[in-house]
Chains A and B, each alone.
Chain A
């Protein structure tokens, strides 16, 4: 089983929001629903300010609380190692939406729970997820961490990384790297 991960280089994100909408178009997501988002955090007081821009999505956790919570096995780990939802089995109980600490899921208007699939239909064809492909800043990097030749392997070997809500014990597969502290003040 490959180990697909996404690495997000926070320094490179310029907040263009292309990923948010590319994902929607690629996966035919209905209006007002999103599978990924961009967070802009600014801290400090004028004129000493710091900004971080980062994208967030389903972390395809290794210890996924959503899979545990699902009564029908609709939420499951697929053969390629990613966490997927089998729509035909989902009853829409929404336990998984409550179980996810990352707000990765939402209730699709057709009744089932929905979330980022790491564009598994594209991975199959050897292509990057839509958000990764369109990222103007090349902030999103995707690949198989078990492949030592992959870009994700190289990057995570070279740089420190963190994950969201590490203490929650979910073992996410989306890593955030910050190569240097940018946004130093004037």
Chain B
């Protein structure tokens, strides 16, 4: 029996780390969502070969939702800052070894290109709604370079989706996060949530169906990566084995993480099942409109994916802070 008595501990680090909370989790979710949607929009844009711009008007809402998501997410991390008024110092230097630095520079860049993309895809006849002449001019210029902007959005979307994973994995002190699988997991789940969100907000059934199909691949990838994530930690050394224990705990203290893991492995495959079901129905090819029930099922599956993504991030952020590199 080891009896430990420590005098002079700070509540933020002992007995558990309590550094990042729901505000960060919300940012991780909304940021990932935004990243996924940006990538999905770019895919939608780029895969349709050189069609008239008008036809892509359907894609205005998606980048807009991505933009709002990221803004709201950014507000939450801003609120989490201890001294937000010092933020200017973030932009007086660039620290290549600090993923926080990458993020603080990167997020505004993403927002800017996201805005440019929105301007680019606004249909010609709706441009006057922009009111300001300078904006309208900007929109015109952007529309010309729409495909380049879309490619840029794709890259930045991937960056946004993966950098938070890299940030978390950069902390050697947090065994649960400190591995190479986490960034891949975050990216995959970001893309999946982005696809799911597009399914929900899309009006055109074809778009809904397209992204339902895309999401199937992403969910499968996500589930595989989660398994690799846990296996990798299980086969690593002591602190890493300890780090995943909360997810397999039957005691009341950490049972919630076991529940979280079970939920993820219920919700995602269920969503998968529903989506595959949809797919089977249209094996012979898709003709015409979907029924209300089918649309409901697609939307429902998408919401399960969103829920699963949120639970995943919340569980990883909270569980990570339960286990340290040191024994106590």
Contacts and interface: CB of A to CB of B under 8 A. Distances in A.
Q: Decide if A and B touch, CB cutoff 8 A.
A: yes
Interface of A: 17, 20, 32-34, 36-45, 65, 68-74, 88-95, 97-103, 105-108, 110-113, 164-165, 168-169
> Would you call the interface of chain A mostly helix, strand, loop, or mixed?
loop
B3 interface: yes
Contacts of A32: 10-11
27 contacts: A20-B8, A36-B8, A38-B7, A39-B5, A41-B3, A65-B173, A68-B97, A71-B100, A72-B92, A73-B95, A89-B89, A90-B83, A91-B84, A91-B87, A91-B90, A92-B81, A94-B19, A94-B20, A94-B80, A95-B98, A97-B13, A98-B20, A99-B170, A100-B173, A106-B10, A106-B12, A164-B326
Interface in B81-116: 81-84, 86-87, 89-90, 92-93, 95, 97-101, 103-104
Given A39-B4, A97-B17, A102-B326, 11 more contacts: A33-B10, A37-B6, A37-B7, A43-B1, A45-B1, A68-B170, A90-B83, A91-B87, A93-B81, A95-B99, A99-B173
B197 to A, nearest CB: 27
A53 B93 CA distance: 42
B83 A91 contact: yes
Contact of B100 (A93, A100, A102, A169): A93
B2 interface: yes
B8 A38 contact: yes
A89 B91 CA distance: 11
A68 B17 CA distance: 20
Contacts of A106: 10, 12-13
Given A71-B100, A74-B89, A98-B173, A103 B324 contact: yes
A183 to B, nearest CB: 13
Range class of the B interface residue count:
35 or more
A44 B100 CA distance: 44
